[in-house]
Structures are given as structure tokens and as C-alpha cells.
Copies of this chain bind each other. A is one copy, B any other.
């Protein structure tokens, strides 16, 4: 019972995380930040450099990325350094990969069925 409750909690958490992760990625500026951060940690000013928006706006985007677990930040002195957290990105990628796999399995089965039907027709 406790194991089931634990599993349910895990499933619910995963759902919430994917909702928030995909929501965070549904914005070009935030995707640009994630693209930059996969190359290595960066300060908020560095993230802001290629974007035409205020530092305050950039910080708001960073907070969205942080709240869904895609990014972790650490403030040392006056500099806030951002790092990508791979787990959230991996969870979203895994969801995508699973969909592609079930799609491919379906196409394989469809191919098998068509081949079988064509063999049946060719029989005298």
C-alpha cells in the first residue's frame, strides 16, 4: 500500500514536472538560454547578451527555468551563475523517444501486415 502510494506520488510528480518542463521550453528566449547553458555554466548577464530584453526580464525567464528544475542557480557575491540540470531535460527527451518508438513499432507491424496480405494474394 505504501509502495503504491509512493509510486502514485512519483507518477504525479513526473506529470507535474513534464507539464512545467514543456511549458518552460515553449518560449524561444528560454530555449536560447537552455541552448547556451548546455555549452557550460553562465552568469545572468551572459545569458542576457544575445537577447534584446532587460536583465529583469531575463531573470524572470531564469526563474521559470529554475522552478521546473531545468536550471539551478547559485549567487556568489553579485554574480548569479546558472547551470543546466540534466534530469529534467532527460525526462522530456525520454517522453519524446518513447512516442517515436511506439510510432515505429506500429509502422513495423503495419508493414508486416501489408507484406502478409500481399503474400496471401500472390498464392494461387
Residues of A within 8 A of B (CB): 15, 18-23, 25-28, 31, 34-35, 38-40, 84, 86, 89-90, 92-93, 95-97, 99-100, 102-103, 106
Are A89's CB and B95's CB within 8 A?
no
Contacts of A89 in B (CB 8 A): 96, 99-100, 103
A35 CB, nearest partner CB in chain B, Å: 7
Copies of the chain in the assembly:
2
7 contacts between A and B (CB under 8 A): A19-B28, A20-B26, A22-B23, A31-B95, A35-B99, A38-B106, A93-B93
Contacts of A39 in B (CB 8 A): 102, 106
**In the bound complex, CA of A119 to CA of B45 (Å):** 35
